[in-house]
Amino acid sequence: MTVLEMHNATKWVNNGPKEKKTLLDHIDLSIQENDFITVLGGNGAGKSTLFNTISGTMPLSSGKIFIKNQEVTQTSEENRASFISRVFQDPKMGTAPRMTVAENLLLAKSRGKKRRFRLRQLKQNQETFYQLTKEVGNGLENHLNTPAGDLSGGQRQALSLLMATIQTPQLLLLDEHTAALDPKTSKLLMQITAQRISEQQLTCLMITHRMEDALQYGNRMIVMKKGEIVQDLNAQEKAKLTMTDLLQFFEEIN
């Protein structure tokens, strides 16, 4: 089943009184269920703009977007959030800093559901949240009652990932979610990420600048340059890539 389709998706902005700058240039993209796609490209390639238009934070200038055959081109970010989850590069962006770990998870657990006045049932979910955070392996389970703002960067980013996947999204967007972490913490978070994607059979787009992660993870790779997709490699083509090939890609697109 096709999860996401973008047809002729274009985004431009005014770059002066008489000049337009193209951020996305007539993108055609089709993502199938259970695809795990790594997205590569230099600065200004259009990677974040791609994610912003998919999630609804930035409207297209022209073109159309479909999620499971339903057009969402004009759908608000808030409405898209019921079926699209996103983890950002900055650990501070995915969590509420004054709320505890458990409170953040409880909030995420209600994503896409109708809200009404009722007891929040935090104690009833405590054991579930303990077991969930224990799977991460970085001690997060010992901080269920700690405000998210007091966590380490790695713990907070792991919490962001758990929040994004506690309700299985139709599409998960990982926006350089390991870039702000040290190598050891980044490696651990990628292992957790791959595990959750596999166990929940998620469909995922992941922007990364870490060449080793681009090679190791995912069944497909797209490379962007100046708002265009210049390479779209399937699982067989991706499996043949080497680090030298990836470095060559970056030489060509920069």
Query: So where are the chain's domains?
Result: 1-83+169-254, 88-111+120-168
Please report, in tens digits, the pLDDT of each residue of the chain (254 residues total): 899 999 999 999 987 777 888 999 999 999 999 999 999 998 889 999 999 999 999 999 999 999 999 999 999 998 998 899 999 998 888 899 999 999 999 989 877 555 554 446 788 888 999 999 998 888 899 999 999 999 999 999 999 999 999 999 999 999 999 998 988 899 999 999 999 999 999 999 999 988 899 999 999 999 999 999 999 999 999 999 888 888 877 776 66
Distance between CA atoms of residues 189 and 93, nearest Å? 17
pTM, to two decimals:
0.91
Distance between CA atoms of residues 231 and 225, nearest Å? 9
CATH topology of domain 1-83+169-254: Rossmann fold (3.40.50)
Could you give phi then psi for residue 197, rounded to 5 degrees? Answer: -60, -40
Torsion angle of C-alpha atoms 122, 125, 126, 132, degrees rounded to 10? -130
Tokens found for residue 209: 């600048």
